[in-house]
Structure 1
Amino acid sequence: MSRVSAETQPQEETEYRVSTLELFFDLVFVFTITQLTGTLADDTSPLGFGQIVIMLFVILWMYFGYVWLTNAVAPDTTVRRLLLMVGMGGFLVIALAIPNAFEAAGPAFGIGYLIVNLVHSGLFISAGGPGSAAAMARLAPFNLGSAALVLVGGFMPSTWRAVAWTAAVVLMVASPYVNRRHGEFRIRPAHFVERHGLVVIVALGESIIAIGIGAAGLPLGLDLVIAALLGLTLVYQLWWCYFGRAQDTRAEHSLAAMPAPERARAALSAFGWAHAPMLLGVVVVAVGVKKTIGHATDHLYLSGALALGGGAALFLIGQVVFRALLRIGTVKWRVIAVVASLATVPIGLWLAIAQVAALVLVFGALLVVEDKLRA
């Protein structure tokens, strides 16, 4: 086979399953999502939402970076496991700092983020294999540059801190396009897809926790039970949108069929950029559910109604992009569902539980229509 034709063939990689250490690593991400949700629930103003978006994107860049790391470097030696634990410790510091990250805990957030970056770059470059290690060596200066912005910003006043951290996000987003050699990363499709699916499961789990937190200390009446069950149904429907009809398996097959450079670009776009609004949407929905549980028969304030309708819409937007990039399903009905989700906001301003019920109907209709069309 000629060199040109060989380069266009999908690259066969030795597959392995997600390890129990990676699942243990995800426990910190559970706490991170809990902290982000709680912080947003305490301050649903535009400023509070903006701060959550900045922190989430900063955290997701490196959290997804660790997914790429363990996809290339199996945590199968003592040194690798210990370094992953150091990175886990850095993420824990970041999570602890989230509620006051724009106040006194800014330096801790920056220091934790620098630790996470140093472990990621060092382990990737030293053990990632010829192609991935070389690609990471060119990407590491951008990652460390963004980490420096986060660290320095942590010592600045809150306004300048937001500017520095936003600049870090811009640098992260721009880095794969400034350094166009990211196609050299080797992707193991089965592990990669499973790992991102587990991240989504972790985020959805926070929505279940939000139901329990919202119900804490309240009398267990019929309205509370109905609101909780509707919230659970909505979370299940989000799960079905992501995993139903073997969408994750189809995503894996789509990645596996691609040549190596295209596979890496698709992994960045579909599992990076598309997953960010999905995860943000889950966090925002969790806030809306939490506020609804305690006020099921009351009206929601605009912030709470927007959290429910807007969070569902954000999740669906990520789904539309994800499916379109991997060409694994139609997107027409999910686009319509985005509009329908936003249209439920006025319902929440009238009655909280009615908006959750309306969203359950929107997602139920979406899934039924797609199921019939696929059949």
Structure 2
Amino acid sequence: MADDVGVVREAAGEHRPAFLELFFDLVFFLALIVLAADLSATLTWLAAGQTLILFLAFALVWALSSWVADTSDLNHPRGQVQVFWVMTGSLVMSAAVPEAFDGRGLLFAMGYLAIQLGSATYLMITGRREIVRIRNRRILFWAGISAVAWLAGAFLPNTQRTALWALAITIEYTAAVLGWPTPKLGHSVGWEWKLVGERVAERYRQLLIIALGVSVFKAGLTLGPDNYTAYRVAAFGMAFATAVLMWRIYIYRAGELLPDAIVASTNPSRFGQFAAVSHLVMVAGIILAAAGTALVIDNPLHPTHPGPGAIMLGGSILFLVGRGVLAYTVFSQVSWTRPVGIILIGLLAAAFPVLPQLTIMALVTFILLLIALADSFNFGIRPGPATPPQLPF
């Protein structure tokens, strides 16, 4: 549409992610590294919950930015301003992560709210199409509600801050799932976003690659330039093998056929939004596994305690759960290898008292290898067609 030039592009336009989005992903890469490092440094259930809250905040920023970019012209300065604004806020959030529940709580909250409130306001003002303005008014309404909990939590001690921020992120995700229902404006529907199947799928793949890159990067940093022992090098090798196997399990075949599934869906935009959930679950699993990998590389022969052991197993289990959800969204069914793999990995918890961390890690890697081989055998050489479930809304 002629009056939309410079602010909004039609879905029939560019079908590939813009270079500016890849630049933005560098900031998200940094955020995931900081989150993985923060989790591996503090092994408590409270710390794990706090890391999850921070991860969900970053994930929502990434998802909204990706969906907005699908209808924004990032070749125009007005579109680029919004992306750079989000990048700046994300850098502030990343810098605050190590002490987000201590002395830098206000810094993290301000960085996050600057993104959510600032972006929605900016897009509401600059949007040429009425639907874009209404969409961002809805988001701004709910971001304003959650802002109360974010700001109040920033001035409270650790535990109370955790509770309020958990409430804030729950409000935002619930609102997003419901389409940001707002008085007099109703709720957002999938077609408003005009998500392009090929482009959205490519963004999700890039998100997985970023997470896998973080896991390899984290393993390399943990190994360090000295203290190369055979056991530590073996742990690093298994960390890399795990990353490769996770990539293989993801891409074969659901990740490969995701664009076809989005196009074949009765509601491509809504389907694309649901596919985001499976990818965020997988990313969370990869980051959790990266934190566990760092613990093994540091002390490969150390006895497997419940806390570190849960992180090691939990990361792979969470990844397989997300991959199972993705398989259902693409094929309307889940391969038997997903639940069987989850059960086998979970059973390794019984071996914590008798096996060192390195052995547990090796067994997890072996199970992932079996899953990858079983997938190849089940699908054969030729991939089956994408048969997504029919969404009723």
- TM-score, normalising length: structure 1: 0.90
Offset of residue 100 of structure 1:
0.5
Offset of residue 123 of structure 1:
4.5
Please name the residue that 2:161 is paired with. 161
Could you tell me which runs of 5 or more consecutive residues in structure 2 were left unpaired when the two chains were aligned: 1-9, 182-186, 381-393
> Paired residue for 1:289, among 276, 289, 293?
293
Q: Distance in 2 between matches of 1:278 and 1:185?
A: 24
> Paired residue for 2:305, among 281, 285, 301?
301
> Paired residue for 1:204, among 212, 225, 231?
212
Please name the residue that 1:368 is paired with. 373
- The answer to whether structure 1 residue 142 and structure 2 residue 142 are counterparts is yes
Offset of residue 49 of structure 1:
0.5
Relative to structure 1, the CA distance from residue 98 to residue 68 in structure 2 (aligned partners, 3 Å threshold; closer, same or farther) is: same
Preserved CA contact (<8 Å) 1:114 1:148 = no
Q: Distance in 2 between matches of 1:155 and 1:283?
A: 29
Please name the residue that 1:43 is paired with. 42
Higher helix share: 1
Q: Which amino acid in 2 is paired with 1:354?
A: T
Q: Map 1:253-332 onto structure 2 (within 5 A).
A: 253-259=260-266, 262-271=267-276, 273-327=277-331, 330-332=334-336
Please name the residue that 1:239 is paired with. 247
Q: Map 1:219-230 onto structure 2 (within 5 A).
A: 219-230=227-238
Q: Distance in 2 between matches of 1:303 and 1:218?
A: 27
Q: Distance in 1 between matches of 2:298 and 2:140?
A: 46
Please name the residue that 1:6 is paired with. none
Please name the residue that 2:188 is paired with. 181
Q: Which amino acid in 2 is paired with 1:307?
A: I
Q: Distance in 1 between matches of 2:193 and 2:232?
A: 49
Q: Distance in 2 between matches of 1:342 and 1:124?
A: 46
Q: Map 1:337-352 onto structure 2 (within 5 A).
A: 337-349=341-353, 350-352=355-357
Q: Distance in 1 between matches of 2:262 and 2:295?
A: 39
Relative to structure 1, the CA distance from residue 373 to residue 103 in structure 2 (aligned partners, 3 Å threshold; closer, same or farther) is: same
> Paired residue for 2:224, among 216, 220, 231?
216
Could you tell me which runs of 5 or more consecutive residues in structure 1 were left unpaired when the two chains were aligned: 1-10
Preserved CA contact (<8 Å) 1:72 1:128 = no
Q: Distance in 2 between matches of 1:216 and 1:345?
A: 29
Q: Distance in 2 between matches of 1:16 and 1:34?
A: 29
Q: Which amino acid in 2 is paired with 1:170?
A: T
Which segment drifts farther, 85-94 or 110-119? Answer: 110-119
Please name the residue that 1:190 is paired with. 198
Preserved CA contact (<8 Å) 1:150 1:165 = yes
Q: Distance in 2 between matches of 1:61 and 1:365?
A: 33
CA RMSD of aligned residues (A): 2.1
Offset of residue 329 of structure 1:
5.8
Please name the residue that 1:65 is paired with. 64
> Percent identity over the alignment?
21
